[in-house]
Amino acid sequence: MDKLVIEGNTRLSGEVTISGSKNSVLPILAATLLTDEPCIIKGLPELRDTNTMLKILRSLGKNAELNKGIVKVTSTKHPNFIADYKLVSTMRASFCVLGPLLAKFKKAKVSLPGGCVIGIRPVDLHLKGIRALGASISIESGYVVAKATRLKGSPMYLGGVYGSSVLATDNVMMAAALAQGRTIIESAACEPEVEDLARFLIKMGAKIKGHGTPIIEIEGVKHLHGAEHTIIPDRIETGTFMIASLITKGDILIKNALYQHLGAVIDKLQEAGAYINRFDTSIRVRFKRRLKPINVTTLPYPGFPTDLQAQMMSLMCITSGISVITEKIYPDRFMHVAELNRMGAHIQREGPHAIVEGVKYLSGAPVMASDLRASACLVLAGLVAKGKTNVSRIYHLERGYENLEVKMQKLGAKVWREKE
């Protein structure tokens, strides 16, 4: 098992190119189950999660040939409607195969999902939406078993305790694409990744309107065909490098980045002291003045993304003054607090709030990644800490960042891999 070693106190500068979106590519790969015809997906990030989803597709009767970020998905003569526990349990997003399998085969058996330890993330909205389409659902030995003689379009409300659900919206949208009649999803997730999936489904022949808004309409069709699609840039990776530039008082030009997907992040970074230039497909982030403390509340899109909460906390750790970070998506997503405090941060948790008192410097220390975004947070903290930081369990990092240490090295970071 590898760890990352980071020698801190280095200013980052230069250019970096963002990979395709992890949160977009996973449901799009699942959507290829809706057709027997070939699909070509471009801009595929080479991640642990991506490889897991390709393994799941192969276990479900697909061929998936990956070559330099392009995957061609074709069908075999041995389709399968059972998504095995050994694969699904490692990655929550794999649960989005439920909708396509049910729509295609009228039955599906999918293991309840796993993923990062960031608090309870139930699948109740997924099941509510699938039931609304006319499916019967039972839980048997850790699997969701769904059956339907025929799926029928239906109006439904998919709002949850903490807002809309991206994966539930994805799952229902894919199932509804082959249902009979019209489906209207109220309180649908508005994230760019949902829009990207909808665009791919439309290329396949689906009839979808309203994607990117809280109300999505799907008119079911009898058949979907193959299609070619390029994945959007990863806005969370983009945001991570934006914070990396500011935390190191650097100057980074971030290429293959869409600023329109990051309005709330840009607003908060400018408030904290960043100078940001926006271009069509790139963003330049520079340190402009003394960092200022800010208050951040995570919210569904277009609010500040929960997937950048931990990284923003690293920045606030070295910002003089008091900052308050409120987590309204996953209130228990604070596993990184204890590790940052090991590095000399002053953070106190009060329920869904983290109160951050900025310190003059952080100190390098051995720390342990608990989840994907927490691992990125600890890397950022290591970049500015005095001395060496050892980040263990970086397999979490590999789930969502393509060659992060290589990209950091090209910007001047002193970071490398070692065996544990």
Q: Give the whole-angstrom CA distance, residue 12 versus residue 315.
A: 14
Cis ω for the linkage preceding 233 (within 30 of 0): no
* Residue 409: how many other CB atoms lie within 10 Å: 13
* Helix runs in 32-177, H state only: 48-59, 85-88, 98-105, 124-132, 166-176
Q: Which amino acid is at 369?
A: A
Please, which residues have CB within 8 angstroms of residue 88's CB and are 6 or more apart in sequence? 56, 94, 95, 97, 110, 111, 112, 113, 114
Which residue in 173, 151, 162, 155 sits closest to 96, CA to CA?
A: 173
**Cβ-count burial of 183 within 10 angstroms (0-12 exposed, 13-18 middle, 19+ buried)?**
buried
Q: Locate the DSSP E strands across 153-211.
A: 155-157, 182-186, 207-209
Nearest CA among 185, 241, 233, 240 for reference residue 213:
185
Q: Measuring CA to CA, which residue among 121, 172, 30 is closest to residue 306? A: 121
List, by residue number, the catalytic residues: 116
Beta bridge partners of 414: 7
- CB-CB neighbours of 212 under 10 Å: 17
Compute the half-sphere exposure of residue 390: CA atoms within 13 Å on the CB side of its CA: 9
Largest CA distance in the chain: 64
Residue count (the chain) = 420
Residue 54 CA: distances (Å) to CA of 11, 73, 131, 184: 37, 9, 27, 30
